[in-house]
Structure 1
Amino acid sequence: MNKHSKIYIAGHKGMVGSAVWRALTAAGYNNLIGKSSKELDLRNQQAVNAFFETEKPEAVIDAAARVGGILANNDFPYQFLMENLQIQNNLIDAAHKNEVNKFIFLGSSCIYPKLAPQPLKEEYLLTDTLEPTNEWYAIAKIAGVKACEAIRKQYNKDFVSLMPTNLYGPFDNFDLKTSHVLPALIRKFHEAKENNNAPVTLWGSGSPMREFLHVDDMARAVLFAVENILPDHLHNVGTGTDLTIKSLAEQIQQTVGHKGEIFWDSTKPDGTPRKLMNVDKLKAAGWEAQISLEKGITDTYNWFVKNQNDFKEVKL
């Protein structure tokens, strides 16, 4: 890739895609292209093929997906499976047919088995059963990983998959019905603080351990993959450190300034007991995370406060 290479970022308006766009622009890439979902429905194979035939991108970054937390995955299993398969299959196949030689597929740590040894290594993929609360999304993403691996193996193209841990940051989804844990906690504690420091009830026991990566660090990993040929088809992206959900909640509560009580509803599911990524492979290649969780939470909360009016129309 050079700075004038045409790079298509699918999902460029989402949290990850917009961060990738910012990172590549800051690095001097000046021929980026993106289409909103209204301009290009990635579930439509014919439309995607026509787009690739017209634009002829030299590289593709797939940051497009239907995403959500435990509740959304549980309520809409068919959509999480089918729409993600449609999106990624259309992009991967169109890229292959139109001679794209660099494709970066973004997934999630949920592709790994629920009870896999910790920290999670890339070779643990498909060695055991998945976490039931998000298996629909995971199965779709696993199919994408294997499709990229197959093209890499059969056609010797630089198709690579990056599997991030839990991401957060500016432009995250703060809808309490569909968001992931960190942005949901930020919103819950902020609104409780605004409501005379009302008590906050949280799902589960608080004991599961999670790892969190700021989206700007993820974008730097994508930039690294753009500028280098990675040694294998699959690489984990994370910090290599984790904490309990209880500790996360307390840290966010402190950052927000909420003074009320926290109650844990143990009748609600915890999800996977622990998800810590082994990031040795990408670190050995030359990349590692830079943004601390404390700084990342503070920056994300400040962004939320500045933009919270955009979320007022959501019915909780």
Structure 2
Amino acid sequence: MTAVDGVDYSPGELDRDATFYVAGHRGLVGSAIWRKLEASGFENLVGKPSAELDLKDRDAVFAYMGETKPKYVVLAAAKVGGILANSTYPVDFLSDNMRIQVNVLDAAHKNDVERVLFLGSSCIYPKFAEQPIREDSLLTGHLEETNDAYAIAKIAGILQTQAVRRQYGLPWISAMPTNLYGPNDNFSPKGSHVLPALIRRYDEATKSGAPTVTNWGTGTPRREFLHADDMADACLHLLEHYDGPDQVNVGTGSDVTIREIAETIGQVVGFDGETEWDTTKPDGTPQKLLDVSKLAEAGWTSKISLSEGLDRTVAWYREHVDTLRG
């Protein structure tokens, strides 16, 4: 993208002195992005926890954006959860995320934010998309029914980002991460995604001496996992090197079965019992591996291996287990 109203918006190094708003800076992704930006020399980071700024409150969001006047925004705030939470509360996942996105993106445009990065999820793609999933698979088939409401909200965010580019010529972009994990994740029994749920389940079983752990489904679905610190690194890289209308997949390019990741986590936490599988519970999408060639073309590949990431995440979980949310 070239100039708009005489301003050159071509990708390049971001201004380290400019105000940079990270929406959702206390969450898994937002906190990792905050750490990455601090380490990269950004001097004016702003953000507010949800207890102080409800992003579903349109007037409050507009007021905050008007006060802080950020030059850059990363929208990492979202209502997220695993299969159980998504399938139980679809209205909440659709309504809350739609309101968060529309409020933040509208306020960003009203306040002339130059560069916005909207973060979605790989669940936006069809349930039976060709593997690995390319960006152009979007809207080509039916969604996974256990999280279709959340996926529709995220698709709407992508389209709003693209619409701003078409209508106003601003270099706003969006990125779709694979399954993320790491510090500040949600480890609650009812609201967490698969990897943090497994860490908690196996760690508690190890501490209690339980002879078995029971997991949902068959264990055969394949999933790709990316450490949140890698995701944060990719986000800054995209902001400085990518400018295009298509969402960009962010992942490692490799996957494992749920059974394999469960066995690995069991080994990391020291669980020596048996694992059982409740096949009456849903598996979700059979495979969800992202094609990350567009990201590679932009000059970025993942750096944190799954084994290293799991070691770091289990250590963080055990250090913070008494103060975790949920």
**Coarse TM-score class (shorter-chain normalised):** over 0.9
> In the alignment, which of 101, 118, 122 is matched to residue 105 of structure 1?
118
**Where does the alignment leave 5 or more consecutive residues of structure 1 unmatched?**
none
Q: Distance in 2 between matches of 1:87 and 1:295?
A: 34
CA contact (8 A) 2:81 2:191 kept: yes
Question: Do residues 64 (structure 1) and 77 (structure 2) align?
Answer: yes
Q: Percent identity?
A: 53
Identify the residue that residue 149 of structure 1 maps to in structure 2. Answer: 162
CA contact (8 A) 1:120 1:277 kept: yes
> In the alignment, which of 187, 190, 196 is matched to residue 174 of structure 1?
187
> In the alignment, which of 147, 171, 187 is matched to residue 200 of structure 2?
187
Equivalent residue letter for 1:282: L
CA contact (8 A) 1:122 1:236 kept: yes
Question: Do residues 284 (structure 1) and 294 (structure 2) align?
Answer: no
Superposition deviation, residue 227 in structure 1: 2.1
Question: Do residues 83 (structure 1) and 104 (structure 2) align?
Answer: no
> In the alignment, which of 178, 196, 218 is matched to residue 205 of structure 1?
218
Superposition deviation, residue 137 in structure 1: 0.4
Q: Distance in 1 between matches of 2:69 and 2:237?
A: 22
Runs of 4+ with deviation above 6 angstroms? none
CA contact (8 A) 1:152 1:233 kept: no
Q: Distance in 2 between matches of 1:186 and 1:53?
A: 41
> In the alignment, which of 32, 36, 41 is matched to residue 28 of structure 1?
41
CA contact (8 A) 1:158 1:229 kept: no
Identify the residue that residue 13 of structure 1 maps to in structure 2. Answer: 26
Q: Distance in 2 between matches of 1:161 and 1:136?
A: 19
1:159-186 CA-to-partner distances (Å, cap 9, x unmatched) read 1111000000011111011100001111
CA contact (8 A) 1:256 1:301 kept: yes
Identify the residue that residue 257 of structure 1 maps to in structure 2. Answer: 270
1:73-114 CA-to-partner distances (Å, cap 9, x unmatched) read 111110100000000000111111111120000010000000
CA contact (8 A) 2:135 2:246 kept: no
Identify the residue that residue 223 of structure 1 maps to in structure 2. Answer: 236
Superposition deviation, residue 309 in structure 1: 1.3
| TM, length-normalised to structure 1 | 0.97
Superposition deviation, residue 158 in structure 1: 1.2
CA contact (8 A) 1:159 1:233 kept: no
Superposition deviation, residue 198 in structure 1: 2.5
Q: Distance in 1 between matches of 2:66 and 2:310?
A: 42
Q: Distance in 1 between matches of 2:260 and 2:66?
A: 50
1:266-304 CA-to-partner distances (Å, cap 9, x unmatched) read 000000000000000011011111000011011100111
RMSD in angstroms over aligned alpha carbons? Answer: 1.0
1:126-168 CA-to-partner distances (Å, cap 9, x unmatched) read 0001000000100000000000001112211111111000000
Identify the residue that residue 117 of structure 1 maps to in structure 2. Answer: 130
Q: Distance in 2 between matches of 1:44 and 1:218?
A: 28
3-state DSSP class of the match of 1:103? strand
3-state DSSP class of the match of 1:158? coil
Question: Do residues 269 (structure 1) and 269 (structure 2) align?
Answer: no
Question: Do residues 126 (structure 1) and 139 (structure 2) align?
Answer: yes
Superposition deviation, residue 228 in structure 1: 2.6
Q: Distance in 2 between matches of 1:38 and 1:253?
A: 35
3-state DSSP class of the match of 1:213? strand
3-state DSSP class of the match of 2:206? helix
Tell me the number of residue pairs that the alignment of Structure 1 and Structure 2 aligns.
Answer: 313
Identify the residue that residue 173 of structure 2 maps to in structure 1. Answer: 160
**Where does the alignment leave 5 or more consecutive residues of structure 2 unmatched?**
1-13
Q: Distance in 2 between matches of 1:269 and 1:233?
A: 31
Superposition deviation, residue 197 in structure 1: 4.0
CA contact (8 A) 2:173 2:244 kept: no
Equivalent residue letter for 1:22: R
> In the alignment, which of 54, 63, 69 is matched to residue 67 of structure 2?
54
3-state DSSP class of the match of 1:61? strand
Q: Distance in 2 between matches of 1:245 and 1:54?
A: 45
Q: Distance in 2 between matches of 1:208 and 1:229?
A: 32
| TM, length-normalised to structure 2 | 0.94
Moved more, 95-104 or 264-273: 95-104
Superposition deviation, residue 226 in structure 1: 2.7
3-state DSSP class of the match of 2:172? strand
